[in-house]
Amino acid sequence: MADQDGLVAIGGDLSVERLLLAYKNGIFPWYNEEEPIQWWSLDPRCVLFPSKLKISKSMKQVLQNGRFRFTTNKAFEQVIVECKTATRKDESGTWINNDIVNAYTNMHKLGHAISSEAWHEGKLVGGLYGVKIGKVFFGESMFSTQSNASKFAFINLIQKLQLQGLELIDCQMKTNHMMSLGAEMITRSSFGKLLNNWT
């Protein structure tokens, strides 16, 4: 039912129940603050299979040199606020509004949304958050105030989740950042079949 851009619905709410149902069906909310809630299912879809994660030689050094400290779920609200306020190249403003912050914080309190953090000298310098359902992690947003901090948090999180049976990371949209880590594009129908198996 999606249009050619992937828009499937407008309206509704950001209740935990609706968000979980949406993610299980390959749909996520994405809209500007002054707009009604918009729900998207992209075709093709950017995904990363954990077994295909690419770690460059320089990144392996970052992972091993002890510069950053890795944690999960220690600062979820701080991570999502940092993602909200981060300045991004070629983008003005953010799609993470206060309703999104509140909705995903509620998801986190109920164990559905998780965060990954990179710390340097006691300060949060990078991280990401997303939704975990079954064997799938749906990545939402990441931020970094120091070079490689978000990659450090991402790679550590994926390696940790692999030990818990993770099979798929949903990256939603193609970015050079994710493609450099081994992401690939698959069809919406293929993505849906994977969700049926793993969520």
Cα separation, 117 vs 106, in Å, equals 19
pLDDT for 42 equals 96
What is the model's pTM? 0.94
In a domain, 12, yes or no: no
CATH of the domain at 146: 3.40.630.70
Which tokens go with 94? 């953010």
In a domain, 25, yes or no: no
**Percent with pLDDT over 70 in the chain:** 95
**Percent with pLDDT over 90 in the chain:** 90
Q: Which residues contact 169 (CB under 8 A, 6 or more apart)?
A: 47, 48, 49, 50, 136, 137, 139, 158, 183
Instruction: For the chain, give the mean pLDDT.
Output: 94
In a domain, 80, yes or no: yes
pLDDT for 80 equals 97
Average pLDDT in the 104-123 region?
98
Which tokens go with 106? 């509620």
Flag the least confident range among 30-34, 67-71, 186-190.
30-34
| Sign of CA pseudo-dihedral 9, 11, 17, 20 | positive
In this structure, the dihedral spanned by the alpha carbons of residues 138, 51, 197 and 37, taken in order and rounded to 10 degrees, is: 10
Task: Please give the residue range of the domain that contains residue 54.
Answer: 44-198
b/e map 51-62, b = 16+ CB within 10 Å: eebeeeeebeeb
Q: Report the domain count for the chain.
A: 1
Query: Angle at the Cα of 23 (from 48 to 94), degrees rounded to 5?
Result: 80
Residue 95: pLDDT band with limits 50, 70, 90: confident
pLDDT over threshold 90, residue 184: yes
Residue 1: pLDDT band with limits 50, 70, 90: low
In a domain, 75, yes or no: yes
At 26-56, the pLDDT tens digits run: 999 999 888 999 999 999 999 999 999 999 9
